[in-house]
Amino acid sequence: MKEGDVFITGGPFGNECPKGFCDMAWMAICLQATTLAGGGKVFGHDEVHIACCNDGVRPVVFRLEGYTDDEKPLF
């Protein structure tokens, strides 16, 4: 993964690990990502959520946000 990469989740519930995404990182952020994919807000108020994987040696920080199919990702 590198800065600026964009991953889009899929599946009927927005819970499919994106292609090329680290499985362990997906397990760490899946709940927040699927909440946003379903139109919800993380912790009841976050429409954009910052999360990270739990790898203490090589942590990666993610910006999670929902979007509709007619929108393009911001980056």
Per residue of the chain (75 residues), give pLDDT as tens.
Answer: 888 888 888 887 778 898 888 889 999 999 888 888 888 888 888 788 999 988 888 888 999 988 766 655 554
Range of 36's domain?
Answer: 23-65
Assess if residue 5 is contained within a domain.
no
Tell if the pTM clears 0.85, that is, is over it.
Answer: no
What secondary structure letter does DSSP report for 58?
S
> Using CA atoms, how far apart are residues 37 and 68, in angstroms rounded to an integer?
9
What pLDDT is stored for residue 40 in this prediction?
A: 84
Q: How many domains are there within the chain?
A: 1
Q: Write phi, then psi, for 55 (nearest 5 degrees).
A: -80, 110
Assess if residue 27 is contained within a domain.
yes
Q: CA neighbours within 13 Å on the CB side: how many for 65?
A: 11
User: For the chain, first and last CA: distance in Å?
Assistant: 14
> Using CA atoms, how far apart are residues 70 and 42, in angstroms rounded to an integer?
22
